Structures are given as C-alpha cells and as structure tokens.
Structure 1
Amino acid sequence: MILRFSLPFRTTWGQRLLICGSEPSLGAWNLDQAVPLDYNLDTGIWSREITLPDDQPGALEYKYLLLNEQANSTEWEWGPNRTVAYDGHQFQRLVLEDYWRAPAEPENELFTAAFTEALFRRPAKPGKAAPTARVADSVVRFQLLAARVEPGQQLCVLGSDAALGAWDGRKAVVLSNATYPTWTAEVALEQPDRALVYKYGVWDPQERKIVLLETGADRVLPPATDRKTLRVRSDDKFRYPNNWRGAGVALPVFALRSHRGLGVGEFPDLKLLVDWAVSTGLKMVQILPINDTVATHTWVDSYPYAAISVFALHPQYLNLEAIAPLQDKAAQQELDALRDQLNGLDFVDYEPMMNAKWKFIKQLYKQEKKAFLADPEFQKYREEQKAWLAPYAAFSALRDRFGTADFQQWPEEYRTPKLVDQLTQETATDFDEFGVHFFTQFHLDKQLREAVTYARQHGVVLKGDLPIGIYRHSVDAWTQPELYHMHQQAGAPPDDFSTTGQNWRFPTYNWERMAEDGYAWWKQRMGQLARYFDALRIDHILGFFRIWEIPGHSVEGLLGHFSPALPLHQHEIEQRLGWFDYRRLCEPYIRWHMVERIFHGQAQAVFDEFMEADHHGAIRMKEHVRTQRQVEAVLDAQCAAEPSLVDHCKWLKTGLYQLINEVLFVPDDLRPDHYHPRITLNKSTSFAELDETSRRRLYDDIYIDFFYKRHEGFWREQGLVKLPPVRYATNMLICGEDLGMVPDSVPGVMKALGILGLNIQRMPSNPRTEFGHPNDAPYLSVVSPGSHDMSTLRGWWEEDREITQRFFETMLGHHGEQAPYYCEPWVVREILVQHLHSPAMWAIFPLQDLLALHAELRRNNPQDEQINVPANPQHFWKYRLHLPLETLNDNAGFIEDVKKLITSSGR
C-alpha cells in the first residue's frame, strides 16, 4: 500500500519541510531520522511517499516540522500528533492532503480545555461514527479540526459534486464529531475526475439546515485520476466571520456568600456563581489561589499566595454538611448557631471561622473514620495523589504538634521528610493526627471536582490562579529544598502599588536544578491544577523571564536585583562612569541633613541609638543595625517589651530602612566585583548629591541601558527555556499577569506560546500613556477594569480628582464636562461597555464592578470593596460579598441588565 503525504507550503531560502512519525520509515519519532519532503516548484506542494504493508489494517502517527538551516533551528507544527488509520484490503493508495498547522496562531487557543471541555463541550454520549462512503474506486475523507461549534450544532460540507448536495444546502453532508474536535465524513464523489468546489458550514440538526456558511473563497479539491484511492483531505481551519469573544466574572472563593456557608465561601458555592454566570451570559468564573495556607493558625494565614503546599486545598473551603450530617445533636446545634453568627458578619473573620472548621472537621473524621478508610474512592484518590498527599499530611500534623510550620525548629529527626511513610501508616497509634488531613483533602477534592463538572456541563470555564512563588515554611520546601534558593527572597520592583518594591519573602527558584529532570515539579504542579481548571492565570509571569531577587537581609525591595541578570563588572562601571568608589556607590550614603529631614526633632536621639560618625561628615549605621533585618529584629524586640511603642517603632523602621536603601549599586551575590544598579536610584539623595556629569553618566549611560536594553535578548532566551515546559504540561488556556516593569521581549514570547496577556486600563503597557484603551488590546488578551490588587472602579474614582477628570474627558469622551464626584452607575456602565467591545478574547470583571451598575446593590463605602492592598504587607484578606449568591440569582432585573450589555457587545 502506497501512502503519500502532500502539503502546500511556501518556504523561504534555507527552509525545508520534514516529516516524523511512529513508523520506522518516518524515523520512529527520532528527530534525527525525520524524513525530508520533496518540493514541487510549479505547485508549491511538498510531498513524500512511503510503502505500508498490504496484509493487515494499521494506524500511524506523524507530524510535520520546519527546518531552518540558516538559523539551525527546528520548529514543529502546532497541535497534537496527526493520526491516520489505513486498510490495504480496501485501498491501494492513501493520499494525505494536509495543511501546515502554523504555531502562534490566535485560533489555536480555541483548542485548549477552556473551549473543548467547557464552552463547546460535546454531549456525554459518544458521537456517531464518521459517515462511511459506499465501496468505490475513489473516496474522499473530509477532515476538519474545529473546536468552535456550539454543543447543539454540527459541521457539514457542501459542494459542487452531487455527493455534496450540488450546492443544495438541504443535502449537505453532516460530519461526525466522534473524534471531536476533529470532524470527519467519507464521501464517494459522483465525478471524481472533475475539480470539486466546496465549503464547510454549521449545521442545525433541529432545523436541518445550514445556519452559517464559512467565509472566504471556495475551497477546491483537484480531480483524482488514481483508482482504489482514499484521499484524506485535512483542511485548514473553519473560516468564521469574526473572532470568538467571551466575558467573565472574578471573585475569590473565600469572598463568596451563601446561606449554607460558615462565614466564608466554600466550594459548593461555586455552583451558585456558575448559575448566575449562565443567566447573565458570562462564560468564565475566575478565582484566586485555593491552596492550603495554614501555617500559623492566625489571620496571617488569610493571605492566599503563601501556600504551605502547592497541591493541597485550603480546609476553609470545605462544606461540612456535604460530607455527612453530624450525629451528635448538640454539636449540630452548636454548628447551626456558629453559622448564623459568622454569616451575620460583613467580612471573613478568619480565626473564629477556621477554629470552627477544624473543630467540626475533626468531629466528622472521628464519626466517619471507619467508612472513610474503607472507601474504595478514597483508596483510589490516596494512591493517585500519594506523591504529595502523604508528605502534606505529615507536615500538617507535625506543624500542629510542634506549634510551627518552620520545620527548621522541629526536632532533628523531623527536619527532613524521611519518616513520612512511617508516620502516615494507618496502624500507627497516632495516625489520627495525620488521617484527619487525608480526610479533609479527599472531601475538598471531591467537592471541588463536583463544582468543576457542574461548571463544564453548563458551559462555564473555571479559571484558577498559579502563584509565582512558594512559601518558605511549606511542604514543598521541606521535601525538595534543592529546588529553591532558600537564602534569597522573591518580590517585585517598585511600582504604582509600592514605592519601595514588594518583598514576598518567598525563596526564589533554582531553575538550573529544575531543568535537570525536565521541570518535573512544574509539570506535576500544572497537572494538579488541570484537575480543577480549564483556564489558568499565571501570577507575575515575568518571573519566568527574571524574578526580582532580594537578599535575605532586606525587608523592603529596593536593594534587590533581577535574577538571572548580567551584572556590571567594576571595571565596566569605572570605564563608563569615569570612577569607582565602593563606599560611595555601594554603601548607604548618610549625611546629617538627611537624618534631620527624616527624624526631625528626634534626629539626635535616633543618631545616638543607631548611628555613628564616619569620615569627612559621613555617617554609618552601627554594626548591629547595618541591615534592614537587623533593624527589624531590634525594634520588634523593643515593641514586644513595650507594646505602647508600636507606632513609634514603625516610624523608626521606615526612616532607618530609607537610609539603608541609600546606595547606588547592589553587589551581586554570586560574582565578586560585579554590581547591579539599584532600582530607582535616580530618586535617591545619594544620586542627587553627585556632580552633574556623574549623574548623567550614571543614569543615562548606565541605568537606562542596564534596565531597558542590556537584557532583552538574554531574558527572551530565559522565557523560551522555562515557559514552554510549563505552558505545554497541560491543555489549559493560559493567561499571564504581565503588569509592571515588562521587558520588551515578553509580549513576543507570550504570543509565540499562545499565552494571553492582561490589559488593565489604569496600568497601560505603554509607559508614555496615562490610560490604556480596551480597543487597543490584542485578541490574545484579557481586558479588565481592575484586579484583586487594586481598588475597585468606585474606589479608584475617588482617589485622585485630577486623574479622574482626565480619564472622564480623554477615555470616556466627556470633553469640557465636570466629572461626577462619585462613580455613578452610568459612569460604570460606560467603562464596562468599553471593555465589552474590546477585540480581546476575554473581558473579565470583578463582581464588585458589575454590582456598581445598580446603586441599590453595591456597598455604601467603596473602600470596603477592595480585596488586597499590596503596599501593606500586613493586610488581612477578609473581603466578603455583602449579598448572598441566592439573592443575586433571584434579582431578575440585575441579571437582565448584565445580560443585555454582554449580548449587545457580541460576546
């Protein structure tokens, strides 16, 4: 049997097409053995023939790749491996007429799980097999890869041959979706010796008619002269008249409010939010991280980006009644009373809520233990998740046993996970300490997956959130410390949220070590997220290009530097600046007038306690307070001894940190005599007091080049190495949070990998503009009026009247008009409409901003609507929706209002 590959493709000089596949004659997936295709200059078609055995049916997998000899690079075509079945008894020749699947095409993202598993999910029952042509000499198998087909519709093919209806839409051949998203049908053409002209359409099986015919020129199938031939026509994508666009709502799970909750949102509440999304036409529900953050059993654990496990789910999201009724009537009465008490609050009271959760989780565990441990479903779950589940259960129990999540403070034998298997055996006398965590995670997983299935069945995408870092005192650091730089801290450079940068205190990643096993930890992490989500937001995606790495001795972020980076050697600084003095450039520059300006009347007392005179009027910090961490430790001890000094110590810290930040270069921690310019050094007193020539050379020649030019190619390479293994570990739709100081190379890498960017109007990517416009967003992006790290629209509107006025005139078009003092519902509507009409694939709105459309639904005080304040490292994450979701679902007027906005925008 002859198998012929045929592919039209116009190459440039130095490019060649190859094919690689499962057959030995196609290289057996050995890239070095890939088979080159031959090019026909007249037709522009690349082709190759191989011989297959005639005596038995078979199947093979294959894929095309583009070789660029000049760049010495190889690029696979986009998509899964192509598969084809063959039968030498029926046909002597199999002709595969393919199209090159171009990478980095926006339409490719329609084949991610968000679309195939949720938005265009096919019915659970198996689709009908592809229509098979009658026995004939020449048969064409029409094959089209198309995900964007509504569940109640099908694809069909219509053409000039009588077998395709002779352009009579009522006689179109309906394709099978048995192998969705691939649609197929076999047709024996009436006149195979004539060129066939045809098109694909969307077929409504209820009305039995074509409801949409694809755009563009007719497709043409050349005539066939060979007999006993099966032609597999794998066509290019369905040509829609417009891009698919959708809208979604964003709200953390903890902020959900329902009648059945216990003072906090729970996983079953997601179903109520899905119901509301369906009724309004919203297609996505976006949440914040949901991993377990219980480290201290205090309100500090409310921070969702400091998980003690990147795999375990947070116990606060467990609905107790969904596990089993409490058999103890007194306990049930206590639970009911606590529910009324906690649900009556207008915020999440984290500690009382978690105390109640743990109390009744432990009671339910004792009540259900025997049946639970014998449950085959649990045994299956435990086996599937054992790689992380047993260490997590051990870590959680030891945390409670020793009163801290800092495993370095545990007894020596527990500081490594060597005893995990022994500790978590069911026969151990203290197994219940560990078993309760197996119990909790099993039911959390069960309840979340039920909500996920519910969302998918209703055509709603559930979008999760992947924090960029890991918590320092976590299971992950306990079990695999070699994957992280534990002596460093991750954060973010200064931005609109924080002028001194952000210090998240997470260790940074040891990417070199992670690469040794092909990024196995990342792939495991992404696989776990794909268990629950069809779309994912990667927090601070810039961290895959370079992370802001802060030395362990710093509290704030100004003394950090990007890592990896290309620091300047001392000789390079000396050559470009004209001089190099370590003490002047790399040590804190402190003078008496600075001390007076910061500490005013207490300047002398502060000097006497913390500083000492140096040479020629210079001042230096005393040895025991030379770093910010040392200052923090000294002042924290003073506050602990005298609580009334808290405010004074806070004031002192701020001022002393400011002085310690007065450096112009930060030494590299790995390479001696190498230095990084301190971020925003031009705003420092040390810089201001240089001579004019030094200022110009330092800022214009060194600083600008270092942060905006020197690293572009280097960081692009970093992103292209680290991101693909993470991106392609699952089929989730990936969105990147790319706000802040974005290298020029980032958008190109994200586009090449099909990762959606984020566009927020008040944080434009173009630094030369004050506001962005949703109309300028690219298709592969998400537009949103704000995020959980920002004030809501109403809150932002009241922050700065001058900015509000400029926005009102320039962005909303009210030139010469006075902006209203408050963000009235009609103003909110104009802003939301702008976003809805954006060309971006997704427009996602915080629920608070949607509620602002109706004065009677929104909170009175917009400041109470903000979820996080990034500038405050001690922020208590307690925001809770003020309306029960049941009430929201019953408000027909609001639902209809939102629905009209979405429908009229074409989303």
Structure 2
Amino acid sequence: MTLRFTLPFRTAWGQRLVVCGSLPSLGQWNLDQALSLHYQPEYGIWSQEIDLPEDQAGTVDYKYILLDDQDGGKHWEWGPNRSVAYAPGQYERIVLEDFWRAPAEPENELHTAAFTRALMRRPAAAPAPATPSAAPVGSSVVRFQLSAPRVDSDHQICVLGSDPALGAWDATKALVLSDADYPTWVAEVALAHPEQTAQYKYGIWEPREQKILYLEAGDDRFIYPLGGQQPLLRVKADDRFAYPTGPWRGAGVALPVFALRSRNGLGVGEFPDLKLLVDWAVATGLKLVQVLPINDTVATHTWVDSYPYAAISVFALHPQYLSLDAIAPLQDSAARQEIEQLREEFNAKDFVDYEPVMNAKWKFVKLLYQQEKAKFLADPEFQAFRAEQASWLAPYAAFSALRDRFGTADFSQWPEEFRTPAQVAELTREDGPGFDEFGVHFFTQFHLDKQLREAVNYARQHGVVVKGDLPIGIYRHSVDAWTQPELYHMHQQAGAPPDDFSVTGQNWRFPTYNWERMAEDGYAWWKQRMGTLARYFDALRIDHILGFFRIWEIPGHSVEGLLGHFSPALPLHQHEIEQRIGWFDYGRLVEPYIRWHMLQRIFHGQAQPVFDEFMEDADWHGAIRLKDFVRTQRQIERVFEEKIAQDPSNVDHYRWLRTGLYKLVNEVLFVPDDQQPDFYHPRITLPLSQSFQELDEHTRGRLQDLYVDFFYRRHEEFWRQQGLVKLPPVRYATDMLICGEDLGMVPASVPGVMKALGILGLNIQRMPSDPATEFGHPGTAPYLSVVSPGSHDMSTVRGWWEEDREQTQRFFENTLGHYGEQAPQYCEPWVAREITVQHLYSPAMWAIFPLQDLLAMDGQLRRQDPFAEQINVPANPTHFWKYRLHLNLEDLCSAQGFNEEVGQLVATSGRAKTY
C-alpha cells in the first residue's frame, strides 16, 4: 500500500517543504530526518510517496514544515497533528490532498474552546447522517474532510457538486457530512464518474427543513481524475469554508463575580449567580461573560484581601464565591435563622462589605463541614477530585490552616519546621489528630470547583462563553512562593511604569518570575496553571501580557514605581553614558538631586523642620542629602508608619510629608542595575524630573536622545525574542481563546508577536495605542481584538464624562461626530447608546462592555451616582474592592424593555448571528 502526500504551495527561492510524522520514513518526529517533498512546478504542488505495511492496520500522524534556507527558519504549519488511519487490504493507494494550514490566520481562533465548546457546541449524541461511509469493494472512494468550527449547533456541513454522488447540483440531494470528529466534518463517497473532473462546493445544511442555507463563496472546488492502482482512497482535506457573510463577530458583558447580586446571595456574588448573568446574556444576544480573577486571596482576613490580583494560590478558588445553600441545608434551626437574617442585612447594602461577609461564610462553612463531613469524605467524586488536583490542593489546605494557626500568611514568620512544605502529606492525612483544621479547606475547594463547573457548563449549553482572567503576578505570601520559591525573584517587586492611572507608577509588590528556572522544565508551572484555568474557562484575558516580553521590576527598597526598570533589559554601561552625554558623575546622575528651593516648593513653610529632621548638607556646595535612616522609600514608609501609630490624629499631615520625601528619593536620572555593577537604566519619565530640568541645555538634549533611544529603539528585537520564547508554551498549553491586556507603554514588537500567536489585543477607546491620538476609534480596530469603552481600572463612561469638560467636548465632537454642538453636562442615555453602537459596529471579533456602561443607556435602570460604579482606582494602593451591582440579576432579567433594546442593537450590528 502506498501513501502519497500532496500539498499545493507556491514557495520562494530557497524554501522547501518536508513532512514529519510518526513513521520512521517520516522521521518519527525528528525534523532532521523528515521526508522531503518534490515540487511539480507545472501544478504548483509538492508531493512524495511512502510505502505502508499491507498486512496490518495503523495510523499515520504527520505535519508539514516549511524550511527556509535563507534565514534558517523552520516553520511548522498551524494546528494539531494530522492523522490518517489505514487497514490491510482495504486500498492499494491512499492519496492525501492537503492544504497548508497557515499560522497567524484570524480563522484559526475559531478552533478554540470558546467556539467549539460553547458558541458552536454540537448537540450531545447527535445521530450520524445517513450518508455512504464506504464503497463497494474494489472501487475508489473520496473522503471529504473539512475543518469548519463555525457551524451553528443546529446546522451541518454538506457538499454539493456536479457528480451524481454529490447531488448533480440538486440542492435537495447534497451529501451531508458527519460531525463525529467536530470541528472536522467527514463523509466518504464513491463518485459515479471518477474518470471525469468533478466540481463541488461546501454548504451549510439545515437538517430540519432539509435544505442548504448557504453555499460557500468563491470559485468551485475541483476533483481531478487520478490514474494508477485501484482501489484508491482520496482524502480531500480541504481548505477552510469560504463564508459569504464575512467574519464572525460577537458581543459580551464584563462584571466581576463578587459584584453579582441575586436574591439568594449572601452579600456577595456567588458562582451559581453566573447562571443568572448567562440568562440575561441570552436574552440580550450577548455571547460572552467576562469576570475578574476568582482565586483565593485570603491572606489577612481583612478587607485588604478584597484585591483579586493578589491570590494566595493560583489554583484555589476564593471561598467568598461559595453558595452555602447549594451544598446542603443547615440542620441547625438557629443557624438557619441566623443566616437568613444576615442575608437580609448584607443584601440591603449597596456594596460588598467584605469582612463581615467573609466572617459569616467561614462560620457557616465550618458548620456545614462538620455536618456533612462523613458523607463528604466518603464521596467518590471528592476522592477523585482530591487525587486529580493533589499537586496543589494538599499544599493549599496545609498553607491555609497554618496561616490561621499562626495568624499570618507570611510563612517566613512561621515556626522553623513549617517554613517549607515538607510536612504537607503528614499534616493532611485524614486519620491525623488535627485533620479538621485542613479538611475544611478540602471541603470548600471541592464545592467551589463543583459549583463553578456547573455554572460554566450551564453557560456552554446556552451558547455563552465564560472568559476568565489570569493575573500576571503571584502574591509574595502565597502557597506558590511557599512551595516553589526557586521560580520567583523574591527580592524584587513587579509593577507598572507611570501612565494615566498613576504618575508614580504602580508597585504590585509581587515577586518577579525567574524565567530561566521556569524554562528548565519546559514551563511546567505555567502549563499547570493554564490547564487549571481551562477547567473553568473557554476564553482567557491575560493581565499585563507585556510582562511576557519584559516586566517593570522595582527594587525591594522602593514603595512607588518610578525607580524600577524593565527586566530583562540591556542596561547602559557607565562608559556608554559618558560617551553619549559627555560626562558621568555618580553623585549628580544616580544620587537624589535635592536643593533648598525644591524643599520650599514641596514643603512650603515646613521646609526647615523637614530638613532638620530628615536631611543634611552634602559635601559640595548647595547639595542636600537624606539622612541614612530615610535614604530609601521603604525606610521612609516605616518611619511614618510609626509616627501615624503614635499620633493617629495627624495622619493626613504625616502622609503629606511622606509623599514629599518620596518625591525627593525619586529625583535621580539613572537607576543602578541590580545584576551588573557599573550598568545603569535611565529613570522612567526622566525628562519630567527637576534634576533633568536643572541640567544645562546641551546635556539635556543629549540625555533626551539617549532616553528615547533606550526606551523606544534599543530593546525592540530583544523584547520580541523574549515574547517568542515565553508566550508559546502558555498560549498553546490549552485550547482557550486568549486575549492579552496590552495597554500602556507597548513595545513596537508586541502586536506582531501577538498576531503570530493568535492572541487578541485590547482596544480601549480612552487609551489608544497611538500616543499621537487622544481617543481611539473602534472602527479602526483589527479583527483579532477586543474593543471596549473601559475596564475595571477605569471610571465608567458616565463617570469619565464628568471628569474633564474640555476633554469630553473634544470627544463629543471629534469621536462621536457632533461637530459644533455643546456636549451635555452629564452622559445622557442617548450618549451612552451612541458609544455602545460605535463599539458594536467595530470590525473587532469581540465588543465587550462593562455592565455599568450598558445600563448607562437606561435612565431608570442605571445607578444614580456614576462615581459609585468604578471598580478599581489603580492610583490608590489601599483601594477597597467593594463594587456591587445595584440591581438583582433576577430584576435585570425581567427588564424586558431594556433587554429588547440591547438585543436589537446587538442584532442590528451583526453580532448575534453565526453567519
């Protein structure tokens, strides 16, 4: 039996194609020993044959690779491995008529779980169509094989053509393909006239009415006659379906789980509440529900834990989302009465009162655990969950119990014997004397997992994608740092450089990643993390995806973000700086530049007392330096924490003084590299510093050129390579649809890498990627992107509208098109509607709206105070994450007029249909 590979491909000079696969003749996945294909220029086809054993069945797995001798490139085709099965005596020849699966094609993302498991899910146990699957012995068979995920759940793919076996162009006799291997559609048929050229097209088949809804666009496809041995199997692994209706587009809604409000909730959103949000999405034609991170953040048992991006485990779910009612009824009548009273009290509040809610949840979780313990531990479903998730579940249970036993999540403060996870197995034994201390966390995680998966399956069954959120960092006092500290640089801090949200940058205080160590095991930690997220989500937002190219790394002695630098980076040696600007003086360039007139401007009448307490004259004329006990921001922070503790009545004054001293510490022009002596990074926003302004004009010009070159040219190829190394293992660890939050100071190489990997970018109207543009326009967004009027880190559209009247007027005229008109004082419902419509008509694959911005279109439903709608204030490091929807989801689902309006807008924009 012979197996022939054929692939149409027009190569350039120096390029050639090979096929690599599971057989020895295909190199057994060793690319150096792959099978070379021969080029037939008259047909533009690459081909080659191999022999298969005639006396045994088997399967050949393979892929095509484009080799480029000019640049040494080895370009594997996109997608999973191809596969063809064969049996002895069935055929004398198998001809594979393949098409090159190009990477970086927008249609590739339709093969992700968002489409295959939710939007275009296939009905369970669908009967196979009554079409020929074999042919008479000795005849030739054509196997039509088309990969097409974009098919409505109620529809099928068919093929219609000129041969009688393909209906002879009679649409009622089309050959219907099977979706048993969806998203690949397959049917086999013996052509009535294999000696003749046949023409055909694929179509969308409506099985209920037995008719073709759409035939694909473009020219007919052809089946050319083949001579040679018979019987013959021709596998027509065709190129993608050519939709006549343009690319698929959808719309979604974004709301954190904690912000969900339902009548059955206990003061905070719970996983079962997602079903109500899905019901509302279905009623309005929305196809996606996006949430914020849902991992456990319980480190202090205070409101500080409300911050969802500081998880104590990147695998465990947050107990606040647990529905107690969904576990079992409380048998204690007093407890039942108490929980109902608390439900009424908490649900009457217009915000999430985090600490009382969590205290109540812990109390009743522990009661339920004791009540259900025997049944729970004997449950085969729990035992399977425990075994499957053992790698993170047992350490998490041990960490959580030890956190509570010792009163801190900072494991460096625990007794010596517990500072490493060596005792995890012993501590979490079911027959151990203190098992309940740990068992309650097994109990909680098991039911959280069960409730979330049930909600997500509900969404999938209703054709709605649930999109999760992956924080870029890990919390310093977390299970992850406790169990695998070698994966992180614990002495460093991750953050973000200054932007519109925070002029001094953001310091998240997370350790940075040790990428070199992670690479040693093929990024196993990242793959496990992604696999756990894929258990719950079909789409994922990667927070601060720029961190895979370079992260803003801040030294441990800094509180603010200005004294950080990008890592990895190519710092400047002292000699290079001297060459570029003409001189190098450590004291002037690297030490804080402080002068008396600066103290007067910052501290006004307090300048002399501030100088006396915290500063001293330097060794040269006019220079001032901070005393040794306040040389760093972290030292200053500790000093003022003590002052505030001793004199809380003057807290505002102390904070004002502290901020002024922070400013002085930031007055440097270069930041030393922590890895290499005599290497330096220019301080971010260097031209805005007082130190820069007081240089001579000649030096300022040279330093400005150095600064621009360093941040905007020097690193482009270096960072591109970083992204190409780190992102693929994360991107391809699962089949989730991946979206990257790529806002802020974006290297020019980032969009190209994201496109090559099929990662959708984010387009926020108020944060355009082009720094020369004040407002982005959704109409210019690329297809592989998400457009949105805002995010959880921003004020809502209504709140933003009132922040800057001049900016709002420019937006009203130039972006919404109301030239010469006066913008309304407030964001009226009709204005919010125009902004929504503008986003819906974008060419982007997704338009996703914060629910607050959709409700802004209805004067009756929206919240009265627009400033109470903002979820996070990034400039405030002590922000309390307490936003809660002011409407019960049950009431939102019954708001028929509003829902019909949203549904009509979505439908009219073309975002509610499959084709």
Aligned to 2:239: 236
Aligned to 1:79: 79
Aligned to 1:179: 181
Structure 1 residues 708 and 127, CA, compared in 2 at 3 Å: closer, same or farther?
farther
- Structure 1 window deviating more from structure 2 (433-442 vs 131-140): it is 131-140
**What displacement does 1:596 show?**
0.4
Aligned to 1:664: 669
Q: Distance in 2 between matches of 1:639 and 1:543?
A: 36
1:32 aligns to 2:32 (yes or no): yes
1:641 aligns to 2:646 (yes or no): yes
1:500 aligns to 2:504 (yes or no): yes
1:550 equivalent among 539, 547, 554: 554
- Structure 1 window deviating more from structure 2 (606-615 vs 721-730): it is 606-615
2:166 equivalent among 160, 164, 167: 164
Q: Distance in 1 between matches of 2:223 and 2:836?
A: 46
Aligned to 1:207: 209
**What displacement does 1:56 show?**
2.7
Aligned to 1:282: 286
Q: Deviations over 1:9-38 (max 9, x none)?
A: 011111111111111211112222211111
Check whether the contact 1:131–1:176 (CA below 8 A) recurs between aligned residues. Answer: no
Check whether the contact 1:194–1:224 (CA below 8 A) recurs between aligned residues. Answer: no
1:618 aligns to 2:631 (yes or no): no
Partner-residue secondary structure (3-state), 1:447: helix
Aligned to 1:268: 272
Q: Distance in 1 between matches of 2:216 and 2:466?
A: 30
1:518 aligns to 2:508 (yes or no): no
Q: Distance in 2 between matches of 1:539 and 1:587?
A: 34
Aligned to 2:196: 194
1:400 aligns to 2:401 (yes or no): no
Structure 2 counterparts to residues 143-542 of structure 1, below 5 A:
143-226=145-228, 227-241=230-244, 242-542=246-546
Partner-residue secondary structure (3-state), 2:871: coil
1:784 equivalent among 771, 784, 788: 788
Partner-residue secondary structure (3-state), 1:845: strand
Q: Distance in 2 between matches of 1:194 and 1:608?
A: 99
Aligned to 2:658: 653
- Structure 1 window deviating more from structure 2 (455-464 vs 26-35): it is 26-35
Partner-residue secondary structure (3-state), 2:569: coil
Aligned to 1:827: 831
Q: Distance in 1 between matches of 2:90 and 2:532?
A: 45
Structure 1 residues 284 and 131, CA, compared in 2 at 3 Å: closer, same or farther?
farther
Question: Which ranges of 4 or more aligned residues in structure 1 deviate by more than 3 Å?
Answer: none
Q: Distance in 1 between matches of 2:768 and 2:460?
A: 33
Aligned to 1:694: 699
Aligned to 2:45: 45
**What displacement does 1:657 show?**
0.3
Aligned to 1:106: 106
Q: Distance in 1 between matches of 2:431 and 2:58?
A: 51
Aligned to 2:729: 725
What TM-score, normalized to structure 1? Answer: 0.99
Q: Distance in 2 between matches of 1:450 and 1:715?
A: 41
Output the amino acid matched with 2:187.
Answer: A
Aligned Cα root-mean-square deviation (Å)? 0.8
Output the amino acid matched with 1:788.
Answer: H
Partner-residue secondary structure (3-state), 2:753: helix
Check whether the contact 1:293–1:302 (CA below 8 A) recurs between aligned residues. Answer: yes
Q: Distance in 2 between matches of 1:168 and 1:864?
A: 62
**What displacement does 1:133 show?**
3.6
Partner-residue secondary structure (3-state), 2:621: helix
Q: Distance in 2 between matches of 1:128 and 1:63?
A: 28
Q: Deviations over 1:746-782 (max 9, x none)?
A: 0000000000000011100011110110010000000
Q: Distance in 2 between matches of 1:297 and 1:370?
A: 28
Output the amino acid matched with 1:228.
Answer: P
Partner-residue secondary structure (3-state), 2:795: coil
1:679 aligns to 2:681 (yes or no): no
Q: Distance in 1 between matches of 2:101 and 2:287?
A: 28
Q: List alignment gaps of at least 5 residues for structure 2.
A: none
Aligned to 1:134: 135
Partner-residue secondary structure (3-state), 1:166: coil
Q: List alignment gaps of at least 5 residues for structure 1.
A: none
Partner-residue secondary structure (3-state), 2:711: helix
- Structure 1 window deviating more from structure 2 (411-420 vs 84-93): it is 84-93
Aligned to 1:16: 16
Structure 1 residues 492 and 109, CA, compared in 2 at 3 Å: closer, same or farther?
same
Q: Distance in 1 between matches of 2:479 and 2:653?
A: 37
Partner-residue secondary structure (3-state), 1:557: coil
**What displacement does 1:548 show?**
0.2
What TM-score, normalized to structure 2? Answer: 0.99
Aligned to 1:597: 601
Check whether the contact 1:127–1:177 (CA below 8 A) recurs between aligned residues. Answer: no
- Structure 1 window deviating more from structure 2 (131-140 vs 813-822): it is 131-140
Output the amino acid matched with 1:643.
Answer: P
**What displacement does 1:131 show?**
3.5
Check whether the contact 1:851–1:857 (CA below 8 A) recurs between aligned residues. Answer: yes
Q: Distance in 1 between matches of 2:302 and 2:847?
A: 36
Partner-residue secondary structure (3-state), 1:617: coil
1:857 aligns to 2:853 (yes or no): no
Q: Distance in 1 between matches of 2:807 and 2:276?
A: 37
**What displacement does 1:294 show?**
0.2
Question: How many residues align structurally?
Answer: 906
**What displacement does 1:88 show?**
3.5
Check whether the contact 1:131–1:175 (CA below 8 A) recurs between aligned residues. Answer: no
1:866 aligns to 2:867 (yes or no): no
1:906 aligns to 2:910 (yes or no): yes
Output the amino acid matched with 2:198.
Answer: L
Check whether the contact 1:397–1:434 (CA below 8 A) recurs between aligned residues. Answer: yes
**What displacement does 1:403 show?**
0.3
Output the amino acid matched with 1:100.
Answer: W
Check whether the contact 1:567–1:674 (CA below 8 A) recurs between aligned residues. Answer: yes
Q: Distance in 1 between matches of 2:133 and 2:381?
A: 41
Partner-residue secondary structure (3-state), 1:305: coil
**What displacement does 1:127 show?**
4.7
Q: Deviations over 1:647-673 (max 9, x none)?
A: 111101110000000000000000000
Output the amino acid matched with 1:134.
Answer: A
Q: Deviations over 1:763-809 (max 9, x none)?
A: 00011110110010000000000000000000000000000000000
Q: Distance in 2 between matches of 1:391 and 1:126?
A: 42
